[in-house]
Amino acid sequence: SKQAVAYRQVSLLLRRPPGREAYPGDVFYLHSRLLERAARVNADYVDAFTKGEVKGQTGSLTALPIIETQAGDVSAFVPTNVISITDGQIFLETNLFNAGIRPAINAGISVSRVGGAAQTDLIKKLSGGIRTDLAQYRELAAFAQFASDLDASTKKQLDRGARVTELLKQPQYSPL
């Protein structure tokens, strides 16, 4: 995001026509080109994947772009650009961090296109629906603040979410 802001400023100084949010029209191309620099490739993999149609070329891409949002707005131009290029995102939230929940991952917004395809069957079975349970818990907890009388299933879900959150908390300055 810092790179996009700097590129926008330089483009405006050069009097290039601004587009959405005053970013130049080629900022999407610029992001994809920047992410392509993270490529490292293995010829055996490409040969097997393309059934020998591509020879001498290889391909794999791993990058960790960090995007700073303004007030947590993932629908702004730069975050949506990078989200559309990458296979998923981990959304870290300041409010969770300040509440002592570390890592401060918002399970509701964080997604992976690869997801379960990269997990073994055992991991899929053990993890179950933890991500969706956490996302639902955080939504319910926000609404439960204003409710005085909750039904048994809601209380049970809130209790489970609180326990899972405590289980997954990582102490500050203590990596797992």
Positions marked active-site: 113
Select from 119, 90, 88 the least CA-distant residue to 107: 90
The residue behind tokens 């080629």 is: 26
What is the rounded distance in angstroms from the CA atom of residue 100 to the CA atom of residue 169? 8
The residue behind tokens 């002592």 is: 100
CA-only gyration radius of the chain, Å: 21
Select from 77, 80, 83, 85 the least CA-distant residue to 24: 77
Burial of 21 (0-12, 13-18, 19+ CB in 10 A): exposed
